[in-house]
Every structure is written in C-alpha cells, then in structure tokens.
Chains A and B, each alone.
Chain A
Amino acid sequence: QQQVKQSPQSLIVQKGGISIINCAYENTAFDYFPWYQQFPGKGPALLIAIRPDVSEKKEGRFTISFNKSAKQFSLHIMDSQPGDSATYFCAVGYTGRRALTFGSGTRLQVQP
C-alpha cells in the first residue's frame, strides 16, 4: 500500500510564477509532514514542515497548505526562480524517532 502519493511527476513553471505540488496520504495517525528539496548530486534537504494542528505554514516564498479532512497537503512556491529548479519530495511520518515515508518526487523546472 502506497502511504503517500505525490503529483505531478514533473512541472515546468515560468520565472515569477507559482509552483504547486500536491501530496495525499492514507494514515491519519501521521503527525509530521515535511517537504524536501534535492539538487542533482546532493542529498535531500529539509525545506519546510508542518504538523496537523495548523492549516498553513509559510517560510519566505515557500508555503505548506494542509487539509486534514481530505488527507492532503501541498507545497506552494511563490515567485518561482530558476534556482528553485530541483526535485521536491513530500514525506509523512511521526514525531519521534521513526522513519519517514517519501513521495515519489516532483521534478520542477523554472524557465527564465
């Protein structure tokens, strides 16, 4: 059973546009929802994370929107820049020392 489904697989956005990546999960027991950014040749890096007691979290140009009833969360990148071109992974997990389950990834390309 796939615990988290991520879409789209790839995304092309013009510079200055809004990039939106979506994830849906199955298990309502999850209480930690991070997004990771990965550049070629590098390991994933934590971008932003949210817990289910809030519906939105914003850090700079990056925003997570969380819909607990729909079991969905999304990453919005405002004013997208060519430097944002990377692969983005959502993940689900639990507070504490348990393993995260990652989505399949979205390759974002921001065209200048």
Chain B
Amino acid sequence: DSGVTQTPKHLITATGQRVTLRCSPRSGDLSVYWYQQSLDQGLQFLIQYYNGEERAKGNILERFSAQQFPDLHSELNLSSLELGDSALYFCASTGQGAPGYTFGSGTRLTVV
C-alpha cells in the first residue's frame, strides 16, 4: 500500500456520461497530480493541485475538471465521455520539498 488511495478501481460507463474519480493523498502530502495512462500515450500529465489551489495544467481536455478539497483529497471529473477517454487514471502526491511522487493504484476507466 503506497498510502495514496484511489477509488473506484474500475469503472465502466457509456459514451456521453459523466464520472468522478477520487484520490486521497498520502498523509501530510499537500500536492496532488493527476495523470492519464493509455497504451499509446504513456503517462500524460493532466493537472496539479497544491493545498487546495490549482498549480499547473497539462494536456487536460475542457471536458475534464478537478478540484482539491480542504481535507486534501482530490476529485477528477470527466464529462461527455468518449471512447478515447478509456484509460488508466493515476493520481500521485508529494510532500513538502520532496519531488518524488507516490502513485496510487489507479482507476481503470472503460467507456463503451
């Protein structure tokens, strides 16, 4: 157990639907990062939050959004889902001044 918890582990949904992925960072970590991993794209950075505030954006689609709550857990919202959104979604957290990530086990999203 890495200390980073992601739920659900698996999600199957239809095109056009909306889903929410949840991430609880390791205790004490203030930064949360979301990544998308698909077969042909590797690990693509989506968005970063630090202590409740958005810190950086990567290749995140306008249909996707995220937030980090006062208890530091984060949610990634994916809407108007398309077949191409099927992927593994990972979150990772880091502590103060420590650049190394701790990843969760991911959520496997399948859009049918």
Which residues of A line the B interface, CB within 8 A? 32, 34, 36, 41-46, 49, 89, 93-105
Q: A99-B48, A103-B42 are known contacts. Are A34 and B100 too (CB-CB below 8 A)?
A: yes
Scoring B residues 44 to 74 as 1 if CB is less than 8 Å from chain A, else 0, what string do you get?
0100101000011010000000000000000
Which applies to chain B's interface (DSSP): helix, strand, loop or mixed? strand
Write the chain A residue with the least CB distance to B48: A99
Chain B nearest CB from A79 CB (Å) reads 25
What size tier do the contact residues of chain B reach? 20 to 34
Q: A32-B99, A34-B100, A43-B2 are known contacts. Are A97 and B55 too (CB-CB below 8 A)?
A: yes
Task: Please name 9 further chain A to chain B contacts, defined as beta carbons within 8 Å, in addition to the given A89-B42, A97-B94, sorted by A numbering.
Answer: A42-B105, A43-B103, A43-B105, A44-B43, A93-B99, A94-B99, A100-B99, A102-B45, A104-B42
B31 interface neighbour in A32, A46, A95, A97, Cβ under 8 Å: A97
Please report the C-alpha to C-alpha distance between residue A104 and residue B37 in the assembled complex, in whole angstroms: 10
Which applies to chain A's interface (DSSP): helix, strand, loop or mixed? loop
Please report the C-alpha to C-alpha distance between residue A34 and residue B2 in the assembled complex, in whole angstroms: 17
Q: A32-B99, A42-B105, A44-B103 are known contacts. Are A98 and B2 too (CB-CB below 8 A)?
A: no
Chain A nearest CB from B53 CB (Å) reads 11
B99 adjacent to A95 (CB under 8 Å): yes
Please report the C-alpha to C-alpha distance between residue A103 and residue B2 in the assembled complex, in whole angstroms: 22
Q: Is B97 an interface residue (CB 8 A)?
A: yes
User: Which chain A residues lie closer than 8 Å to B48 at the CB level?
Assistant: 97-99
